[in-house]
Amino acid sequence: MPDIVYKEETEHSMAEVKEGYVEKIVYRGDNGYTVLTLSSEEEELYCVGTFAHVEEGEFLRVEGDLVFNPKYGEQLKVTAYQAVEPKDGQAMERYLASGAIKGVGAALAARIVKKFKEDTFRIIEEEPERLVEIKGISERIAGEIYRQFEEKREMRQAMIFLQKYGISNQLAVKIYQYYGERMYEIMRQNPYRLAEDIDGVGFKIADEIALQGGIAPDDDYRVKAALYYVLQQAVSNGHVYLPQEEVYQKATEIIRVPFENMERQLTQLALERSVVFKEEDEVKQVYIAGYYYLELDVARMLCDLNRRYDVAMRLIEHRLNQLEKELEIKLDELQRMAVSEAVQNGVFILTGGPGTGKTTTINTIIRFFESEGMDVLLAAPTGRAAKRMSETTGMEARTIHRMLELTRDPEAKVGGLEFARNESNPLESDVIIIDEMSMVDISLMHSLLKAITVGTRVIFVGDVNQLPSVGAGNVLKDMIASERFPVVTLNRIFRQSEESKIVLNAHKINAGENIPLDNNNADFFFLNRNDTQVIIPSIVYLVQKKIADYVKASPYEVQVLTPMKAGELGAENLNIALQEALNPSMPGKMEKDLGGGRIFREGDKVMQIKNNYQLEWEVRSRYGIPVEQGTGVFNGDCGIIREINLFAELMTVEFDEGRMVEYPFSGLDELVLAYAITIHKSQGSEYPAVVIPLLTGPRLLFNRNVLYTAVTRAKKCVTIVGSPDTVQMMISNVMELKRYSGLKRAIQEM
């Protein structure tokens, strides 16, 4: 926030009423606190206070205390304000030309006001059809001007109404855009709908609104909403179900109601088929119904695909010998076994750590099937993983979403995706190979299997020791633990990887062995630093200068990976320092200040933090002409901000494969800076070099699994900055966040 504060104010102050244009929004915080300049013919004045929803170009009447600050001069501490219509033609022209009404620029605004003079706003409100009298305005444009003019007024009223509940401006816009005028009725009758319908509105906000509206603390709907919210939060944290006692415990932390009332309402949710009960080892489990049936369906489809094919071992051995000569490779016993199992089974799982020959094995499997005249499809969960798969196999690999042909469906929500490929329109292939399976959650697995017909061989490849998927489920681990599918785990480190300390140390970490931090190698380094104020500038220097030059990559390709999102060495704080170093503010470079210290700037590296299946993207030619279009941007996708258009309130981001996406400013909460990201978000990605700050943090996040995942993200160089004791503690710490999932049991019961 800029240094605009009230210091050494004079005791003399008086209530003032001012009118003028919002010339510039200097600062806006998440809570609505705003610093702006108000401009009139007489003066330009700094105003500070809480504004629900004000944009540059709007005409305001403000009331407050006029104070004098020796450093900043006269300023108005605003106690009340309202948006009003400008009084004269010049004022009206300025408002229309300000960008408040999209599509009306300075020239068109001048023509409108010249025609209608001080009657302009009445004409727009009461006789908008007369706008067609002006050159350049069609009936459609006239209707759009009227709609926006009315919408601005209604939205301002909605912003002020929602501000009473402590709802941020961005969230208030979402609520109003989703419900429109129905918002007020919903807020009065059933505010818990907000938690169900609006991303970003959780139970707590809806509950606060409901309580302020007079709902009883033990109201049945409130209890049901709290119980369902607990289960939704569990899904967000990766669980497919929760033990019943844990549901009650977490709900009790949110609302204080008798146990009997909770038990009754949870039963009612089951009768309404919103939740499903399951019991195992005398523990009652509670599922959101949709996720229970997802697991059952996945188990059934996997078992249907899991059939044995009668292929003579003599033929397999003969073909393998031929392929070894053609590809000039030598497979070890486990690799040969993997190819054999892939050929003879409908479902096969290949696992192994870095440097164990998974790529060679996959390539041999592909060539084997191709030599038999069979079609092979390759896919991975993320664009980066698919790109790497293409590079290592020489074949096209796509994201699972693109392979399944995600289609635009404005009604679709998470868990109800629309894919063109499904049981009615299945994938046409003899063999499908999916890489980075540890990243695949239960919802995506369900959509994938629906598009695969019985008789197709499916090969799942992944490193079971990496972190589980961001989404709900524990798919790869549960499949292996069920012991119903053939699995080959590659464990031999091949000669070409033996000199890599990244590979050797990753395997040591996975085995629970301490790793040397002596820097006696070319690709694994450690800097002993025990002060965050020293660590942060060290990281900036390493990324900006040292490592980028060392691995011959751009600083943007050097990825900082941290276990935490918050804290001094968390992703949020590190991004502020890295943004300032790698992409500082400068004249001509547009930026959008989101408040709370968050700034997006043209050239910034950003990451999508949630799946958005409706976002449209296009790949453009060098002349800017769209050559390919599609929908869907997914959790973990990284890109670069190419343009920020303050007039149109749009930000354009270029993601992998040249996919250009336009974000409205109201949707920027789905993006974060990505110079530093959490280790969990790095799954499926590979970088020329990674920098990992490790000092202190929660034991649940500082564990072996997290460290192993971080180290295995690097191709050429790993640099750890922090405490050697923390590194060794993480290797010893096998405590992981437990995931509640039932796929293993469902497969076994099938």
Determine which of 195-209, 433-447, 517-531 has the lowest per-residue pLDDT on average. 195-209
Give me the torsion for CA of 235, 240, 244, 249, rounded to 10°: -30
Which token pair is 242?
A: 């929760």
Other C-beta atoms within 10 Å of 688: how many?
Answer: 18
Phi (first) and psi of residue 499, to 5 degrees? -85, -10
Angle between helices 442-450 and 289-305 (to 10 degrees): 50
Confidence of residue 683 (pLDDT cuts 50, 70, 90): confident
Strand-pairing partners, residue 524, are 718
**Residue 414 pLDDT exceeds 50:** no
d(CA 31, CA 209): 17
Alpha helices, H only, 69-138: 89-97, 106-116, 120-126
Kindly state the greatest CA–CA separation across the chain.
99
- State the Cα–Cα distance between residues 457 and 345, nearest whole angstrom: 7
pLDDT for the residue 410: 47
Exposure b/e, 507-533, CB count within 10 A at least 16 = b: bbbbeeeebebeeeeebbbbbebeeee
Residues 99-136: tens digit of each pLDDT = 667 778 778 888 898 889 888 888 988 898 999 999 88
The predicted structure's pLDDT at residue 106 = 78
Rounded CA gap, 281 and 364, in Å? 43
Range name among 36-45, 382-391, 649-658, 677-686 with the lowest pLDDT average: 36-45
Contacts of 711 (CB under 8 A, 6+ apart): 502, 505, 506, 509, 690, 692, 718
| pLDDT tens digit sequence for 619-644 | 988 877 888 888 888 888 899 999 99
Does residue 718 have a pLDDT over 70? yes
Can you name the residues that pair with 714 across neighbouring β-strands? 687
Query: Which residue is associated with the tokens 């302009």?
Result: 120
Angle, nearest 10°, between helix axes 89-97 and 106-116?
150
What is the tens place of the pLDDT at every residue in 490-535? 988 875 666 789 999 999 999 999 999 999 899 999 999 999 999 9
User: Which DSSP string corresponds to 523-551?
Assistant: SEEEEE---HHHHHHHHHHIIIIIHHHHT
d(Cα 386, Cα 379) in Å, to the nearest integer? 6
Helix axes 244-254, 203-212, angle to 10 degrees: 50
**Cα angle 668-674-678, degrees, rounded to a multiple of 5:** 110
Regarding beta strands 431-434 and 376-380, do their DSSP bridges make them parallel or antiparallel, or are they unpaired?
A: parallel
Model pLDDT, residue 174 = 77
pLDDT at residue 379, rounded to an integer: 96
Residue 590 has pLDDT above 80, yes or no: yes
Q: In the chain, what percentage of residues exceed pLDDT 90?
A: 50
Please check whether residue 381 is in contact with residue 439, taking contact to mean a CB–CB distance below 8 angstroms.
yes
pLDDT of residue 435: 95
Cα 495 off chain centre by: 39
Structure tokens, 369: 């099937």
454, with CB counted inside 10 A (0-12, 13-18, 19+), is: exposed
Instruction: Please tell me the predicted confidence (pLDDT) of residue 409.
Output: 56
- Return the higher-pLDDT residue of 107 and 91: 107
Q: For 243-262, write each residue's pLDDT tens digit.
A: 999 999 899 888 888 777 88
pLDDT of residue 48: 86
pLDDT score for 5:
34
The CA R_g of the chain, rounded to the nearest whole Å, is: 30
List Cβ neighbours of 582 (8 Å cut-off, separation of 6 or more).
543, 544, 555, 556, 605, 675
DSSP bridge pairs for 16: 64
- Residues whose CB falls within 8 Å of the CB of residue 354, separated by 6 or more in sequence, listed in order: 463, 497, 502, 503, 506, 507, 712
Mean of pLDDT over the chain: 87
Helix (H) or strand (E) holding 488: strand 487-490
pLDDT value of position 253: 85
The length of the chain in residues reads 750
pLDDT at 6: 33
Which of 519, 528, 573, 578 shows the shortest CA–CA distance to 695?
528
The pLDDT assigned to 3 comes to 35
CB 84 within 8 A of CB 19: yes
Q: Please state whether the predicted TM-score (pTM) of the whole model is above 0.85.
A: no
Which pLDDT belongs to residue 204?
A: 80
Q: At residue 433, what are phi and psi to the nearest 5 degrees?
A: -115, 125
The pLDDT assigned to 289 comes to 94
Structure tokens at 568: 């001094």
Phi-psi region of 405 (alpha: psi -120 to 50; beta: other; left: phi over 0): left
The predicted pLDDT at position 196 comes to: 76
Q: How far apart are CA 576 and CA 578, in angstroms?
A: 6
Half-sphere exposure of 185 (CA within 13 A, CB side): 4
Q: Is the pLDDT of residue 181 over 50?
A: yes
Among 143-157, 322-336, 370-384, which stretch is predicted with the lowest mean pLDDT?
143-157
CA–CA separation, 143 and 139 (whole Å) = 6
Mean pLDDT of 194-199: 80
Residue 479 predicted with pLDDT over 70: yes
Split at pLDDT 50, 70, 90, the class of 30 is low
Residue 31: predicted pLDDT: 61
CB 387 within 8 A of CB 444: no
Query: For 273-277, 285-289, 495-499, 696-700, which range has the lowest pLDDT when averaged over its residues?
Result: 495-499
Contact 502, 720 (CB under 8 A): no
**Cβ contacts of residue 180 below 8 Å, gap of 6+?**
none
Closest CA to 428 of 394, 477, 377: 377
Mean pLDDT lowest among 29-43, 316-330, 391-405, 722-736 = 29-43
Cβ proximity of 194 and 165 under 8 Å = no
Identify which of 239, 233, 231 has the alpha carbon closest to the alpha carbon of residue 276.
231
**How does DSSP classify residue 494?**
P
Residue 621 CB-density burial (10 A; 0-12 exposed, 13-18 middle, 19+ buried): exposed
Beta-strand runs (E) in 402-443: 431-434
**Alpha carbons 528 and 540: distance in angstroms, whole number:** 16
Instruction: Provide the pLDDT confidence category of residue 165 given band limits of 50, 70 and 90.
Output: low
Which H or E run includes 559?
strand 558-562
pLDDT value for 364: 96
Residue 415 has pLDDT above 60, yes or no: no
| Closest to 419 in 3D by CA, of 402, 409, 404, 432 | 404
- Distance between CA atoms of residues 456 and 346, nearest Å: 7
